Structure 1
Amino acid sequence: MSKPNKNTQATKIVVSGIERLGLRVSEMINHPVAQVQRWVTIHRLDTDGDREWEEVLGLLNETDGIDMTLNDDESVTLKWEASVVEDRPVEVYEPVEEPAPF
Protein backbone atom coordinates (compact mmCIF):
# COMPACT_ATOMS: atom_id res chain seq x y z
CA MET A 1 0.00 0.00 0.00
CA SER A 2 1.44 3.35 -0.97
CA LYS A 3 1.63 6.39 1.23
CA PRO A 4 -0.53 9.37 0.32
CA ASN A 5 1.40 12.09 -1.47
CA LYS A 6 1.82 15.10 0.78
CA ASN A 7 2.03 17.43 -2.24
CA THR A 8 -1.51 16.72 -3.44
CA GLN A 9 -3.83 19.13 -1.77
CA ALA A 10 -7.35 20.02 -2.73
CA THR A 11 -7.39 23.34 -4.52
CA LYS A 12 -9.92 25.66 -2.96
CA ILE A 13 -11.54 28.09 -5.35
CA VAL A 14 -12.60 31.29 -3.65
CA VAL A 15 -15.54 33.07 -5.25
CA SER A 16 -16.38 36.61 -4.21
CA GLY A 17 -19.85 37.55 -3.04
CA ILE A 18 -20.59 39.53 -6.20
CA GLU A 19 -19.49 36.61 -8.40
CA ARG A 20 -21.60 34.14 -6.42
CA LEU A 21 -24.68 36.38 -6.60
CA GLY A 22 -24.08 37.09 -10.29
CA LEU A 23 -23.85 33.38 -11.05
CA ARG A 24 -27.05 32.65 -9.10
CA VAL A 25 -28.99 35.40 -10.87
CA SER A 26 -27.62 34.32 -14.25
CA GLU A 27 -28.65 30.72 -13.64
CA MET A 28 -32.14 31.83 -12.63
CA ILE A 29 -32.55 34.01 -15.75
CA ASN A 30 -31.21 31.28 -18.05
CA HIS A 31 -33.34 28.52 -16.51
CA PRO A 32 -35.55 26.90 -19.20
CA VAL A 33 -38.77 27.69 -17.32
CA ALA A 34 -37.79 31.36 -16.93
CA GLN A 35 -36.93 31.50 -20.62
CA VAL A 36 -40.35 30.16 -21.60
CA GLN A 37 -42.35 32.38 -19.26
CA ARG A 38 -39.96 35.35 -19.80
CA TRP A 39 -39.87 36.39 -16.15
CA VAL A 40 -38.16 35.37 -12.93
CA THR A 41 -38.32 36.48 -9.31
CA ILE A 42 -35.01 36.79 -7.49
CA HIS A 43 -34.97 36.61 -3.71
CA ARG A 44 -32.17 38.07 -1.65
CA LEU A 45 -30.45 35.49 0.53
CA ASP A 46 -28.99 36.12 3.97
CA THR A 47 -25.53 35.58 2.47
CA ASP A 48 -25.99 38.38 -0.10
CA GLY A 49 -24.27 41.52 1.14
CA ASP A 50 -25.76 45.00 0.71
CA ARG A 51 -23.03 46.14 -1.68
CA GLU A 52 -23.29 43.02 -3.85
CA TRP A 53 -27.10 43.13 -3.96
CA GLU A 54 -27.15 46.82 -4.94
CA GLU A 55 -24.45 46.33 -7.58
CA VAL A 56 -26.25 43.42 -9.27
CA LEU A 57 -29.59 45.29 -9.17
CA GLY A 58 -27.88 48.31 -10.71
CA LEU A 59 -26.48 46.20 -13.54
CA LEU A 60 -29.86 44.60 -14.18
CA ASN A 61 -31.59 47.99 -14.13
CA GLU A 62 -29.16 49.30 -16.77
CA THR A 63 -29.72 46.31 -19.07
CA ASP A 64 -31.87 47.12 -22.09
CA GLY A 65 -34.95 44.95 -22.55
CA ILE A 66 -35.34 44.01 -18.87
CA ASP A 67 -38.18 45.44 -16.78
CA MET A 68 -37.37 45.30 -13.08
CA THR A 69 -40.04 45.43 -10.36
CA LEU A 70 -39.10 45.74 -6.69
CA ASN A 71 -41.52 43.66 -4.62
CA ASP A 72 -42.75 44.30 -1.05
CA ASP A 73 -40.83 41.28 0.28
CA GLU A 74 -37.53 42.76 -1.01
CA SER A 75 -37.45 40.33 -3.94
CA VAL A 76 -37.07 41.55 -7.52
CA THR A 77 -39.09 40.40 -10.52
CA LEU A 78 -37.44 40.64 -13.91
CA LYS A 79 -39.49 40.52 -17.13
CA TRP A 80 -38.34 40.63 -20.73
CA GLU A 81 -39.80 40.37 -24.20
CA ALA A 82 -39.00 37.62 -26.68
CA SER A 83 -36.13 38.38 -29.00
CA VAL A 84 -36.31 37.70 -32.73
CA VAL A 85 -34.48 34.40 -32.22
CA GLU A 86 -36.98 33.38 -29.51
CA ASP A 87 -39.98 33.88 -31.80
CA ARG A 88 -39.50 30.50 -33.41
CA PRO A 89 -42.09 27.77 -32.68
CA VAL A 90 -41.43 25.63 -29.63
CA GLU A 91 -42.28 21.96 -29.52
CA VAL A 92 -43.81 20.90 -26.23
CA TYR A 93 -43.61 17.30 -25.14
CA GLU A 94 -46.78 16.11 -23.45
CA PRO A 95 -46.49 12.58 -22.07
CA VAL A 96 -49.43 10.29 -22.68
CA GLU A 97 -50.67 8.50 -19.58
CA GLU A 98 -50.84 4.78 -20.08
CA PRO A 99 -53.33 2.69 -18.12
CA ALA A 100 -51.92 0.80 -15.16
CA PRO A 101 -50.88 -2.76 -16.03
CA PHE A 102 -52.94 -4.25 -13.22
Structure 2
Amino acid sequence: MAQQTNKKEAGAVQMSSMERLTMRVSSMINHPIAQERREVRIHRLDTDGEMEWNEIVNAILEADGIDLTHNHEDASITLRWEPSEDDQKPAQVADAFDVEEPAPF
Protein backbone atom coordinates (compact mmCIF):
# COMPACT_ATOMS: atom_id res chain seq x y z
CA MET A 1 0.00 0.00 0.00
CA ALA A 2 2.92 2.35 0.76
CA GLN A 3 4.22 1.95 -2.79
CA GLN A 4 0.90 3.10 -4.26
CA THR A 5 0.91 6.21 -2.08
CA ASN A 6 4.48 7.07 -3.10
CA LYS A 7 3.61 6.68 -6.79
CA LYS A 8 0.64 9.02 -6.42
CA GLU A 9 2.75 11.60 -4.61
CA ALA A 10 5.54 11.33 -7.18
CA GLY A 11 3.04 11.86 -10.00
CA ALA A 12 1.43 14.90 -8.37
CA VAL A 13 2.23 18.18 -10.06
CA GLN A 14 3.10 21.06 -7.77
CA MET A 15 1.48 24.39 -8.64
CA SER A 16 3.57 27.51 -8.47
CA SER A 17 2.53 30.29 -6.11
CA MET A 18 1.56 32.40 -9.14
CA GLU A 19 -0.67 29.61 -10.47
CA ARG A 20 -2.38 29.27 -7.07
CA LEU A 21 -2.93 33.03 -6.84
CA THR A 22 -4.23 33.22 -10.40
CA MET A 23 -6.68 30.37 -9.77
CA ARG A 24 -7.89 31.96 -6.52
CA VAL A 25 -8.41 35.39 -8.11
CA SER A 26 -10.07 33.87 -11.17
CA SER A 27 -12.48 31.80 -9.08
CA MET A 28 -13.38 34.85 -6.99
CA ILE A 29 -14.08 36.94 -10.11
CA ASN A 30 -16.12 34.15 -11.70
CA HIS A 31 -18.15 33.44 -8.57
CA PRO A 32 -21.90 33.89 -9.30
CA ILE A 33 -22.33 36.55 -6.58
CA ALA A 34 -19.37 38.57 -7.91
CA GLN A 35 -20.77 38.25 -11.43
CA GLU A 36 -24.19 39.41 -10.30
CA ARG A 37 -22.79 42.40 -8.39
CA ARG A 38 -20.05 43.01 -10.96
CA GLU A 39 -17.71 43.57 -8.04
CA VAL A 40 -15.29 41.53 -5.97
CA ARG A 41 -12.89 42.29 -3.11
CA ILE A 42 -9.66 40.32 -3.12
CA HIS A 43 -7.43 40.08 -0.07
CA ARG A 44 -3.75 39.32 -0.26
CA LEU A 45 -3.01 36.23 1.80
CA ASP A 46 0.13 35.65 3.84
CA THR A 47 1.05 32.93 1.35
CA ASP A 48 0.89 35.35 -1.61
CA GLY A 49 4.39 36.54 -2.47
CA GLU A 50 5.04 40.24 -3.08
CA MET A 51 6.19 39.63 -6.65
CA GLU A 52 3.18 37.42 -7.50
CA TRP A 53 0.71 39.86 -5.92
CA ASN A 54 2.17 42.80 -7.86
CA GLU A 55 2.13 40.78 -11.07
CA ILE A 56 -1.55 39.88 -10.72
CA VAL A 57 -2.51 43.46 -9.79
CA ASN A 58 -0.62 44.79 -12.83
CA ALA A 59 -2.31 42.23 -15.09
CA ILE A 60 -5.72 43.34 -13.80
CA LEU A 61 -4.80 47.00 -14.30
CA GLU A 62 -4.01 46.27 -17.96
CA ALA A 63 -7.36 44.56 -18.56
CA ASP A 64 -9.98 46.64 -20.36
CA GLY A 65 -13.20 47.48 -18.56
CA ILE A 66 -12.02 46.72 -15.01
CA ASP A 67 -11.82 49.42 -12.35
CA LEU A 68 -9.34 48.51 -9.60
CA THR A 69 -9.38 50.25 -6.23
CA HIS A 70 -6.68 49.76 -3.58
CA ASN A 71 -8.24 49.48 -0.11
CA HIS A 72 -5.58 50.89 2.19
CA GLU A 73 -7.28 49.87 5.43
CA ASP A 74 -6.70 46.15 4.79
CA ALA A 75 -4.40 46.11 1.72
CA SER A 76 -7.07 44.39 -0.39
CA ILE A 77 -8.21 45.39 -3.86
CA THR A 78 -11.74 45.86 -5.14
CA LEU A 79 -12.54 45.13 -8.77
CA ARG A 80 -15.61 46.55 -10.50
CA TRP A 81 -16.72 46.13 -14.08
CA GLU A 82 -19.59 47.07 -16.35
CA PRO A 83 -21.68 44.42 -18.06
CA SER A 84 -20.52 43.38 -21.51
CA GLU A 85 -22.81 43.80 -24.51
CA ASP A 86 -23.70 40.10 -24.30
CA ASP A 87 -24.73 40.52 -20.64
CA GLN A 88 -27.08 43.40 -21.49
CA LYS A 89 -29.03 41.55 -24.16
CA PRO A 90 -32.11 39.82 -22.77
CA ALA A 91 -32.07 36.08 -23.16
CA GLN A 92 -34.38 34.88 -25.89
CA VAL A 93 -36.58 32.07 -24.75
CA ALA A 94 -38.45 30.02 -27.28
CA ASP A 95 -42.21 30.39 -27.00
CA ALA A 96 -43.76 27.04 -26.17
CA PHE A 97 -46.68 27.85 -28.49
CA ASP A 98 -44.56 28.74 -31.52
CA VAL A 99 -44.75 25.86 -33.96
CA GLU A 100 -41.73 25.52 -36.20
CA GLU A 101 -43.23 22.87 -38.48
CA PRO A 102 -46.84 22.49 -39.55
CA ALA A 103 -48.73 19.55 -38.15
CA PRO A 104 -48.64 16.50 -40.46
CA PHE A 105 -52.46 16.29 -40.63
Normalised by the shorter chain, which TM-score bucket?
0.7 to 0.9
- The aligned length equals 87
Aligned counterparts, 1:56-95, within 5 A: 56-72=56-72, 73-89=74-90
The offset of 1:27, in angstroms, is 0.2
The offset of 1:18, in angstroms, is 0.6
Distance 1:55 1:74 in 2: 15
Query: Which structure 2 segments of 5+ residues have no match?
Result: 92-105
Query: Secondary structure of the residue that 1:56 maps to in structure 2?
Result: helix
Report the TM-score, using the length of structure 1 for normalisation: 0.78
Aligned counterparts, 1:1-102, within 5 A: 4=1, 6=3, 9-10=7-8, 11-72=11-72, 73-89=74-90
Query: Secondary structure of the residue that 2:59 maps to in structure 1?
Result: helix
Higher helix share: 2
Post-superposition, which runs of at least 4 consecutive aligned residues in structure 1 deviate over 3 A?
Answer: 4-8
Distance 2:56 2:3 in 1: 41
Counterpart amino acid of residue 29 in structure 2: I
Distance 1:5 1:46 in 2: 34
The offset of 1:60, in angstroms, is 0.2
Distance 2:19 2:64 in 1: 21
Query: Which structure 1 segments of 5+ residues have no match?
Result: 91-102
* Bigger Rg, structure 1 or 2: 2
Identify if the C-alpha distance between structure 1 residues 9 and 39 changes in structure 2 by more than 3 Å, giving closer, same or farther.
Answer: same
Q: Note the alpha carbon deviations across 1:45-82, whole angstroms, 9 max, x for none.
A: 00000000000000000000000000011000000000
